Chains A and B, each alone.
Chain A
């Protein structure tokens, strides 16, 4: 017997967030707020060179500076100079060069750590960096992926004798046969530019030996306290049981805090060595070079189709920039995209090849969507190009090829089985909200009149795989961990509930949403439920928060643990009420004897009985708690239709977003207010990739966009409001019917914007525009098209 989800509960309501009170009053616990007595502050001497030999390094001068406690280069640090781990060796023959926390003999990126100073104040530590003597012999920087793969290129890592990290192939069906049958083959090269995650709270880490035991407590602004604990134990050799990792208030992550960073390794090892708290907080300028970047792929994509628009096959050849080193899942990010290039479309064949390439740039890794935004961008762009090539309305082409709702569950050419979806319903709703026909008519009028401001309409009909992940699938992909999630639910003797989760929120509102799930099963008010998270001392088991997994996977564990708790409580209640367990029904937090409304016992009373244990049934242990560790049956597949209308000034290149409509299907929604907020933020980040952001390097490997003055993340004045809608097609592979939502907006929105710009300018001969589509880029694209047409 399981407790049914009561639809008349907190589940599905836009409950205001529990998290907000402390955040709105500045009663926050960011890692940088932690000021322990005796703390020494770490400052880092970083490489100003992209590629150089370290010909001299002498830290002794720093030791003479006021307030300095210690200073280390790689030589002085010796075996405490731990290596940054990579847990995703995607092929058997992948090249995995060492990544020591402090560079040994050579630097390979601007921002590489060369030496550290520890002092009694941040200012003293930073000042003393100037007293370190260091000199470099410049080596040629590898900055271009294609050049990196040519023979004779300088090598990022001499010892592996190549800049190719790995080649991964996934042939599905016979693409050459599809190509031979096709009437039309359209090929494009898209550049999915390098982005910087730019969460608002800079990274910070404090490690402290706790004195009364061998425990070292590490507070870190991380998305992954549980995974970090395991990795730090492996890297530092400190027994895992002596490490406690806490992620206190964490100010955003977007994948950028899904990492075991060199600074976390250094701070942990130095706290142990010095026997006192060590703290490091990055400056924003450090963040831009030293926090991992995202995207950075050259995408060659080819689509084969019949002349009436039936897609036959797809070929994708990627160059994926690893940067200078491999971090936690650097090589695997393109593979998360690999499965998604066929997207919502039916086809006979799909051929995928990805080459990972080392360059002298900051390492790449997960950034909101991690591989799927790149895939969605390429497929949604090439669909529009195919539509233009065969003269078909782009939405009609999509409808002709997408999986219809009757065809689910559907196994795609890439081998994934999508459980559910209804692309027709989401699209129909989006088209109605958007006034698609009206805007097409306006577009035709502007075209006809030769208006210098043209209207563009951009489409993105997307799906994604999220809810990382079934452990067996991760194992098959050579990922060195599982994808399960844990929850313990405790009913305290005073009637309060503790939900202990292994997810680790950094803005997503888990405290509120998880309370809603537990409340809907336990019948206990949301305000009587406390969600405990992000502390390996208080929530010992977990796989943390990334890949839109927290609800999709963690939510299942909360449901299962809550139901198990109810079943244990039922045995106790039956004993108290002198009836059989089968005669009890559990409604609104109380057990009632069927047919005898006078006999009932509330869950809180049962919890008290379990606490006193004076009168428990035989074989039932004291205390009322239950746990569940759930491995998801499959990924979840949110989908949606995003439509953007924009005015493109053909004389200035300025793109003005006029309307953005999206209808997302994320399955059952636990809190629609939070869902909508996640979509807003994701859409904004995707729009930012299309219009504003790009990490630019010069040919010497210097990051030119190394501050918030140079790297343009949009302000309120740069964005419109968004029209959001939803359809609800419950996931059948997840017991709550939920899917993920954290990344959906960022995955969907980028191609909608670029498709819209191209749509506005296609009559001028434009068939692509580079990202970010700044006014200058758009203007130059128009000029080049005009020159080409002459």
Chain B
């Protein structure tokens, strides 16, 4: 067992962890942050995407011990619930989710995509989200959501309020 300390959504968690344990399993099983989900076992689906020190990672491809000393942001920490993140607002407004299972990963990947490229074209959005699979929407409204989120974010922080 290894001892790790990780800040998740603003709260510091410490504990013993098996070296083989994946970050996503640690988040879900050890500290109860179950908003982040598992969709596959080959790192293809991206449902488990979180921000690790501000950049998106598939939390199934990071060991919990590798996250020691890091800051993790999950879908549960993106906003405080009263004020929505513009990406969350955009996904609701554009019907960018149906069953919602890919949504945590899709939203976190979008946050990272827009931080790198604040005004992506449709093609850049499609390629930027290539690592996140959705089975419900056919991606049409996800692409619209990302584009709309970019508009909201360029218009200033208060536009994201919902």
Residues on A facing B (Cβ under 8 Å): 16-17, 19-21, 23-28, 30, 32-33, 35, 122-123, 198-202, 249-252, 254, 283-285, 506-509, 673-674, 676-677, 680-685, 707-709, 713, 715-717, 719, 721-722, 745
Contacts and interface: CB of A to CB of B under 8 A. Distances in A.
Contacts of B45: 200, 284, 708
B113 to A, nearest CB: 11
Given A252-B99, A716-B127, A716-B134, 19 more contacts: A17-B95, A25-B79, A25-B81, A26-B76, A26-B104, A27-B76, A201-B101, A249-B100, A251-B37, A284-B42, A681-B98, A683-B138, A708-B40, A708-B44, A708-B45, A715-B129, A716-B132, A716-B143, A717-B130
B136 interface: yes
29 contacts: A16-B92, A17-B95, A20-B91, A20-B100, A21-B92, A23-B100, A28-B37, A32-B38, A33-B34, A198-B135, A199-B99, A200-B134, A249-B100, A251-B37, A251-B100, A251-B101, A252-B98, A252-B99, A284-B40, A284-B45, A677-B98, A682-B138, A685-B138, A708-B42, A715-B129, A715-B139, A716-B130, A716-B142, A719-B138
Contacts of B141: 677, 680
B104 A716 contact: no
Return the 7 tightest CB-CB contacts between A and B, nearest first: A26-B35, A684-B138, A251-B101, A507-B99, A23-B100, A26-B75, A680-B138
Contacts of B81: 25
B37 A30 contact: yes
Nearest to A250: B99
B35 A25 contact: yes
B104 to A, nearest CB: 5
Interface centre among B28, B95, B102, B127 (most CB of A within 10 A): B95
B101 A707 contact: no
Contacts of A202: 38-39
Interface centre among A21, A24, A33, A123 (most CB of B within 10 A): A24
A716 B126 contact: yes
B59 to A, nearest CB: 13
Nearest to B42: A709
Contacts of B33: 26
A24 B84 contact: yes
B31 to A, nearest CB: 12
A713 B34 contact: no
Contacts of B93: 16
Nearest to A254: B135
Given A252-B99, A677-B95, A284 B135 contact: no
A716 B104 CA distance: 16
A251 B35 contact: no
Nearest to A745: B138
B36 A674 contact: no
A685 B47 CA distance: 19
Nearest to B105: A200
Interface in B87-123: 88, 91-93, 95, 97-104, 107, 122
Contacts of A123: 18
A201 to B, nearest CB: 4
Contacts of A30: 34, 37, 101
B39 A200 contact: yes
A713 B135 contact: yes
B64 interface: no
Contacts of A715: 126, 129-133, 139
B125 interface: yes
A542 to B, nearest CB: 19
A508 B88 CA distance: 19
B101 A252 contact: yes
Contact of B44 (A28, A199, A709, A717): A709
A25 B91 contact: no
A200 B139 CA distance: 14
Interface in B19-66: 28-29, 32-42, 44-45, 47
A719 B143 CA distance: 11
Nearest to B18: A123
Contact size range, B:
35 or more
B91 A24 contact: yes
A676 B104 CA distance: 22
A26 B133 contact: no
Dominant secondary structure of chain A at its interface with chain B: loop
A201 B39 contact: yes
Contact of A680 (B37, B79, B91, B140): B140
A30 B123 CA distance: 32
B158 interface: no
A670 to B, nearest CB: 14
Nearest to A711: B44
Contact of A284 (B41, B88, B95): B41
Interface centre among A709, A713, A717 (most CB of B within 10 A): A717
A505 to B, nearest CB: 9
A188 B18 CA distance: 58
Contacts of A508: 98
Contacts of A713: 133, 135
B98 A685 contact: no
A684 B104 CA distance: 21
B133 A200 contact: yes
Contacts of B138: 680-685, 719, 722, 745
B40 A707 contact: yes
A680 B95 CA distance: 11
Nearest to B40: A284
B18 to A, nearest CB: 7
B38 A20 contact: no
A120 B146 CA distance: 42
B132 A16 contact: no
B141 to A, nearest CB: 6
B137 interface: yes
B135 A252 contact: yes
Nearest to A28: B35
Nearest to B74: A26
A684 B139 contact: yes
A252 B100 CA distance: 8
Interface centre among A28, A32, A123 (most CB of B within 10 A): A28
A123 B133 CA distance: 26
A20 B18 CA distance: 35
Interface centre among A35, A123, A251, A716 (most CB of B within 10 A): A716
Contact of B143 (A24, A677, A721): A721
Interface centre among B84, B88, B136 (most CB of A within 10 A): B136
Nearest to A21: B92
Contacts of A25: 35, 75-76, 78-79, 81, 88
Nearest to A708: B44
A508 B137 CA distance: 11
Nearest to B87: A24
Contacts of B143: 716, 721
A16 B95 contact: yes
B97 A199 contact: no
Nearest to B37: A30
B41 A707 contact: yes
